[in-house]
Amino acid sequence: MNRWKNFTSGFVRENPVFGLYLGICSVLAVSTTINNALGMGVCVIITLLLSNVIISVMRDIVPNDIRIPVYIVIIASLVTVVEMLVNAFSPALAESLGTFISLIVVNCIILGRAEAFASKNGVVDSILDALGMGLGYTVSLLAMALIRQVIGTGVLEFTNPFDASQIIFSFTIIPSDFTVSLFSSAPGAFLTFGILAGLLAMYNGKKQEKAEAEAKAAKAAAAKAAAEAKLKEAK
């Protein structure tokens, strides 16, 4: 297995949000600010990383008939710990994300990678898969939040996750008279998601067409070379 390819697949080729359409509910709901996006992304990365490692280690001892319930128990336990840590160290973030931290348990990305990858591969490969998919999810969430926050409010702002009163940076990019409040609401989330998913689909489509064209050209060249070699033999 190409480990670099495994790690990077979650960024573009198999992006969990815009490519595989997993975990969309949380993306649409919490992508109003980059604070929310980064907080949710970190929670998902931690949960995905630990669950992949545990499930990969246990893959040979868990009976096939009960593997899904076992995976859910492991994931639910990890999410509970993550939620407790967020409540303890970042109450403002916990309040902002609300029940969506708890809903990481049913996030399709977590259970999907456990079933499709961690249960079939070793610990190192499972770690790389978790990091790639987790970072891909986080980058997608940040892209959504960046667009929605800037267009919806005109301000790009990030506060200290451990102290909401401390503003790390705040820039006014669009004057308030030119902002589009739609992007701060649910319809704006769907619109932003649709645009970004469409752009990624176009990119992957063109990349696939290019790969198919190159493969076709290589096949034609090989066939031509074989025909020329046969002709030489005939002479």
The answer to the question of residue 204 being in a domain is: no
The answer to the question of residue 13 being in a domain is: yes
Which domain covers residue 182, as residue numbers? Answer: 3-198
The answer to the question of residue 34 being in a domain is: yes
Q: Report yes or no: 30 and 97 within 8 Å, Cβ to Cβ.
A: yes
Backbone phi, psi, residue 168, to 5°: -75, -45
The answer to the question of residue 90 being in a domain is: yes
The answer to the question of residue 158 being in a domain is: yes
CA-based nearest residue to 82, from 118, 112, 107: 107
| β-bridge mates for residue 167, sequence order | 159
pTM here is: 0.86
The answer to the question of residue 28 being in a domain is: yes
pLDDT in tens, the chain (235 residues): 578 888 888 888 888 899 888 888 889 989 999 999 999 999 999 999 999 999 999 988 888 888 889 999 999 999 999 999 999 988 888 888 888 888 888 888 898 888 888 888 899 999 999 999 999 999 999 999 999 999 999 999 888 887 777 888 888 999 988 899 999 998 999 999 999 999 999 988 888 888 888 888 888 888 878 777 777 776 6
The answer to the question of residue 140 being in a domain is: yes
The answer to the question of residue 218 being in a domain is: no
User: CA 29, 32, 33 angle in degrees (round to 5)?
Assistant: 130
Taking the C-alpha atoms of residue 62 and residue 44, their distance in angstroms, rounded to an integer, is 24
Domain tally, the chain: 1
